[in-house]
Amino acid sequence: MPGVTTGNWQEPAHLRWSFQHMADLFPVATIARGAEIPLPVAEADPGGLSVPMEDTDAWLVLHRGAVVAEEYAGTMTPATRHLLMSVSKSVVGLVAGILCGQGRLDEGALVTSYLPDLAGSGWDGATVRDLLDMRVGIRFSEDYLDPASEVRRLDESVGWAERGPRSPAHLRAFLAELRGDRPHGGPFAYSSAITDALGLVCEAAGGAAFPGLASDLLWSRIGAAHDAYVTVDPVGTSMYDGGICATPRDLARLGALVAAGGRSLTGEQVVPAAWVDDLFRGGPDSASAFAAADHDHGLSGGSYRGQFWSPAAGGDVVLCLGIHGQMVYVDRAREVVGVKLSSWPLPVDEVRGRADLAAFRAIAARVAA
């Protein structure tokens, strides 16, 4: 789109185009698929299913692995890879879960045992489990609208924003400059930088760059119809916390894997069942850590575990969420997966977020009945 640059791609007028053309704006790396598993279309059409459509690019619903509703807006098509924003975090969390299940990653180990170059920074003393559950005591502002916030400096480090003379050279350099301001393992505190550290830990434990690792362990095993891709920083490091782009149906396949306890649509156990169960059940203090947070992110009574959100701690629903209206809704009891990809003007809109959650709850109850 003429006129879209790294300096204005996140402006409201450009979001719909930008989110569908990240590879035209930034360098990317491929997360390769394996053999496709076709998604059947449900024979019975429940009819009347809907979600809020303003600034929605695509949405669909699976029930027991079959498509029961699907809609695309504007130029979005089933083959379009859309920016997932922080839904990407849940992909990183699943890769970490697979590595832990293989004994290659220890969730109780110190972050600096995998990333010694971060020693002497705010990451000292944090464990991999602290990363997984966003309970690392680093000083970090996730205020997307504040040009002086750390999340905007993170954008500069990966090339998502125009760089200045004092911008970090790359993502890893940015992480090394962060400092702590409270003990690790305390209240939940959402920070995109934490997932970036987790992505680097996965690479160190897995012995490969993230795109290949995510392909080998996860994406090639879910039956995806298309390769995914991830934007990379100036030295080729993945933008783990928000840079993955994928099609709606492939995202639904990922959700179906979570709903089925880590099994793909062919029945292969991809993610350990115990790891997936832990995402729903939460840790012994996940609910209290979330309740003690400064902000409940519109999910009062919820929790956060393994890079997934839960709207009700210990329930049968988990969510993957990203700014500007990205959502994957997984209801394992009803065997329902909902996907919604959007281009909301504001990064965070809790009113719209609650409306989308209510819509998928209503759809899940209806199709399961």
Torsion from C-alpha of 295, 159, 20, 353, nearest 10 degrees: 0
C-alpha radius of gyration, the chain, whole number: 19
Count other Cβ atoms within 10 Å, centred on residue 129. Answer: 18
Report how far Cα 322 is from the mean position of its chain's Cα atoms: 6
Q: 195 with 240: CB under 8 angstroms?
A: yes
Q: Which of 18, 86, 303, 342 is catalytic?
A: 86
192 three-class SS = helix
Instruction: Give every strand in the sheet of 326-331, ordered side by side.
Output: 66-72, 56-63, 336-342, 326-331, 317-322, 308-310, 303-305
Looking at residue 319, its amino acid is: L
User: 116: burial class by Cβ within 10 Å (0-12, 13-18, 19+)?
Assistant: exposed
Closest C-alpha to 4, from 160, 191, 229: 160
Instruction: Identify the sign of the CA torsion 329, 283, 315, 262.
Output: positive
Whether 86 is catalytic is: yes
Q: Which residues contact 22 (CB under 8 A, 6 or more apart)?
A: 28, 81, 83, 229, 231, 243, 245
Q: 361 with 336: CB under 8 angstroms?
A: no
What does the block give as tokens for 369?
A: 């009945």
Helix axes 87-101, 210-217, angle to 10 degrees: 70
Q: 136 with 191: CB under 8 angstroms?
A: yes
User: H helices then E strands: how many in the chain?
Assistant: 13, 11
Report how far residue 142's alpha carbon sits from residue 154's, in angstroms, rounded to the nearest whole number. Answer: 10
Residues with catalytic roles: 86
